[in-house]
Structure formats: structure tokens, C-alpha cells
């Protein structure tokens, strides 16, 4: 059987294609999307060639959907179940997963399969490996559009908070307040951050950052962000920095604004140059106890279920991220191009099917 899908035709080229409906293995599920969202990563993939050449690869890795078929060994899911699909769908039997790094199952970053090593979710149907381990049931009463933010934005933003190891009362700076950084702001607030700086400039994002718990907004277009942070902290800097956006200077700025003993959590995609610069003196000539951690979001059902409980209990509201809602698959391209052009009023588009 054939299906329609929106795909990367080659670097810099997208379009509609027809493909066979994927086959279901014994541990797997076939899912049809209910709501999907394009991601900044899709833009890096298509227009920057971030993962290399791909031909007719279906795009997308953020979806909530309905199970239409399960393999013979799947225990906990059945056709008709509504599920949250994480962007990262590891092989749970791999040695990397057993070592605690499921996102690197099969090789560095290889837990990211959708729209990378296999077809993504912008299709009438898509395949999910190890369905019991990778899919979470959508809780009753949770809006599927809001729940799509659990695929990538919430787990990635929150992982920045984990990597920076935010503790009660810590001063924190989140650099970049697109949808990922906004979820870092929300996650840092949930973890008990004290003073919470948010770096960005789009008015929508600034307002959302305040609502998610930022105490201070730093506009990088109005002066050096290190100077602004040092001025507001009596020259001391912050305990934690989360990087969720920026440019080639951001890493050095993060090191400069960090206190000795602090941690940097990076979830930003570093897209150019062969090396990252670490300023020697600001890094204590190698002895400053300024730790730098960077990681791809963890996936998996347990993680998704726990994050979904934050929506279910009302502790986290992702709906303010959804600035642009579309109804119907035919709007897929429009939604993706919004992510490419980033109009000033955009946080995140969602397509409801």
C-alpha cells in the first residue's frame, strides 16, 4: 500500500512523495499522526546539510499519533491507542543503552532515528521500533497539540537543565529562548532555580520566558551578554548556564559568565567550524572547576510518561509555545518554512491532522 509523505528530496530541497506504508516488525508499531511539529533540526537537516545528503527521506520527528498496528511481541499497546512519540527512539538492548546512554545506541547520536537514519513522522503512517519501550500513552484530557511538545522541546530543554545540574536557589542563565530554551527556563524553575536569566530578543519569547519563571531578560542585541550578566551579579556570574541557542561566541561567553564550580549544559546544535573555543584564563587555565556537558535528549517510554505527567497535573503548560496552528496535512510545508524563516512572532508551529 502507498502513502503520501513530506520529504527531504536532497540538500536544500523538500517536497511531497509517495512511499510504501512501512512494515511492522514483531516488537514494533505502525502509527498514524494526529499532530506533528517541524523542528529547527529539520531546518539544519535540509538547508544546512547537517547530517549529510539524504534522498527522499521523510522529515519530522515530533508527533502524537494513533497506533494502527502492533507486532506479535508487543504487550502494552494495541491499535487505537493514542501515543506520544519521542524524537529519540533507542535500541534498548544495545550496550550503549545498558551503559545509561540510550540516545547513543548503535553509535554516537544514533538513537536519533526519525528523519536521520530512517523515515520520519510527516507521513500518513510511520514506523516505531521497540514500541513498548519507546511509546507512551497520551493521558486522557491532554491536548494532542500541546503533547507534541513532549517529543522534543520539553525533553531537550529539560535535559539542558539536567546537564547543568540545577539545584535549589542556583543562579541560572539560559542562553536562547526559542521553544527549546523556553523549556529550559520552565525546567530550571521547576528544579528550584533562584535568579533565572533568559537571553533572547523576540517579544513573544521574552514574554513566555517571564511566564515560565525568568526573573531577568538579557537582550543579546543590546550589548555583550557576559557584561550584562556580570553587572547584574556584582561581577560574580552565575552557578549554571544552559545553552539552547546562540552563535560561535556563545560557548566562550558561557564559560566567562560561569562561577568556578559551575556547570554548563549545552543542548544547542553547534553547526559550524571544526573547533569550539574555550577561553583559557576564564576557564581558570584548566583549573577553574567549570564543567562543560553537552547531550542529546534521552528518549524512551518511562521518560515520556514522567514528562506527560507534568502536563496532566498542570505543572507545565506547553500550549503557549504553539503560536501557529494549522489544520490538515497540506499545511506541512508552510509550517516547516515558518521554522526556516523564523518570523518574529513565531515560537513553534503545530499541524493537526
Using CB under 5 A, list all residues that contact Zn ion.
Answer: 39, 41, 152
Neighbour count for residue 88 (Cβ, 10 Å): 27
Cell numbers standing for residue 306: 514522567
291-310 binders of ligand NDP (CB under 6 A): 296-297
We find the least distance from the C-beta atom of residue 259 to ligand NDP, in angstroms, to be: 20
User: Checking DSSP bridges between strand 13-20 and strand 2-10, what pairing results, if any?
Assistant: antiparallel
Closer by beta carbon to ligand NDP, 278 or else 293: 293
Scan residues 252-271 and list those touching ligand NDP (CB under 6 A): 267-269
Which triple of cell numbers denotes residue 307? 514528562
Size, binding site for ligand NDP by CB under 6 A: 30
Q: In the chain, at which residue ranges do the beta strands (DSSP E only) sit?
A: 2-10, 13-20, 29-36, 57-58, 63-70, 82-85, 126-128, 136-137, 172-175, 196-199, 216-218, 238-243, 258-266, 291-294, 322-327, 348-352
Kindly tell me which residue out of 179, 237, 265, 300 binds ligand NDP, with binding defined by CB under 6 A: 179
Name residues contacting ligand NDP, limited to 60-119 (CB under 6 A).
none
- How far apart are CB 251 and ligand NDP at their closest, in Å? 11
Crossing angle of helices 179-190 and 153-164, in 10° steps, is 50
Smaller CB separation from ligand NDP, 65 or 245:
245
C-alpha angle 230-232-238 in degrees, rounded to nearest 5? 60
Q: Which does 244 bind (CB under 5 to 8 A by kind): ligand NDP, Zn ion, none?
A: ligand NDP
Which of Zn ion, ligand NDP, none does 267 bind, CB closer than 5 to 8 A by kind?
A: ligand NDP
CA nearest neighbour of 16 among 65, 59, 62: 59
Site for ligand NDP in 18-57 (CB under 6 A): 39-41, 44
Indicate whether 210 belongs to the interface with ligand NDP (CB under 6 A).
Answer: no
Is 247 a residue that touches ligand NDP (CB under 6 A)? Answer: yes
Say whether residue 178 binds ligand NDP (CB under 6 A). yes
Amino acid at each position: 500500500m502507498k502513502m503520501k509523505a513530506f520529504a527531504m528530496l536532497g540538500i536544500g530541497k523538500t517536497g511531497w512523495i509517495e512511499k510504501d506504508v512501512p512494515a511492522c516488525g514483531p516488537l514494533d508499531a505502525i502509527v498514524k499522526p494526529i499532530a506533528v511539529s517541524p523542528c529547527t533540526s529539520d531546518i539544519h537537516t535540509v538547508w544546512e546539510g547537517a547530517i549529510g545528503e539524504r534522498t527522499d527521506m521523510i522529515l519530522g520527528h515530533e508527533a502524537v499519533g494513533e497506533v494502527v498496528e502492533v507486532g506479535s511481541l508487543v504487550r502494552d499497546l494495541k491499535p487505537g491507542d493514542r501515543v506520544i512519540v519521542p524524537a529519540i527512539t533507542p535500541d534498548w538492548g544495545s550496550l550503549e543503552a545498558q551503559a545509561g546512554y540510550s540516545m547513543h545506541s548503535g553509535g554516537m547520536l544514533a538513537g536519533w532515528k526519525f528523519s536521520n537514519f530512517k523515515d520520519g513522522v510527516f507521513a500518513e503512517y510511520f514506523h516505531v521500533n521497540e514500541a513498548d519501550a519507546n511509546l507512551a500513552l497520551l493521558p486522557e484530557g491532554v491536548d494532542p497539540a500541546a503533547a507534541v511538545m513532549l517529543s522534543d522541546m520539553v525533553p531537550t530543554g529539560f535535559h539542558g537543565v539536567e546537564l547543568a545540574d540545577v539545584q535549589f536557589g542556583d543562579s541560572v542563565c539560559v542562553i536562547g529562548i526559542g521553544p527549546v530554551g523556553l523549556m529550559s527556563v520552565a525546567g530550571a524553575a521547576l528544579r528550584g532555580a533562584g535568579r533565572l536569566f533568559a537571553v533572547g530578543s523576540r517579544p513573544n519569547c521574552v514574554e513566555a520566558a517571564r511566564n515560565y519563571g525568568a526573573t531577568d531578560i538579557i537582550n543579546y542585541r543590546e550589548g555583550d551578554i557576559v557584561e550584562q550578566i556580570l553587572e547584574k551579579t556584582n561581577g560574580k556570574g552565575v552557578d549554571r548556564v544552559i545553552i539552547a541557542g546562540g552563535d560561535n561566541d556563545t560557548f566562550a561567553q558561557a564559560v566567562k559568565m560561569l562561577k568556578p564550580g559551575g556547570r554548563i549544559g549545552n543542548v544547542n546544535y553547534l553547526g559550524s567550524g571544526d573547533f569550539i573555543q574555550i577561553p583559557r584564563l576564564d576557564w581558570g587555565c584548566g583549573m577553574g572547576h567549570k564543567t562543560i556537558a553537552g547531550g542529546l535528549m534521552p528518549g524512551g517510554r518511562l521518560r515520556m510518561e514522567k514528562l506527560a505527567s507534568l502536563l496532566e497535573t498542570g505543572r507545565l503548560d506547553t500550549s503557549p509555545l504553539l503560536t501557529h496552528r494549522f489544520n490538515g496535512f497540506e499545511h506541512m510545508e508552510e509550517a516547516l518554512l515558518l521554522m526556516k524563516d523564523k518570523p518574529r512572532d513565531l515560537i513553534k508551529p503545530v499541524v493537526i491532522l
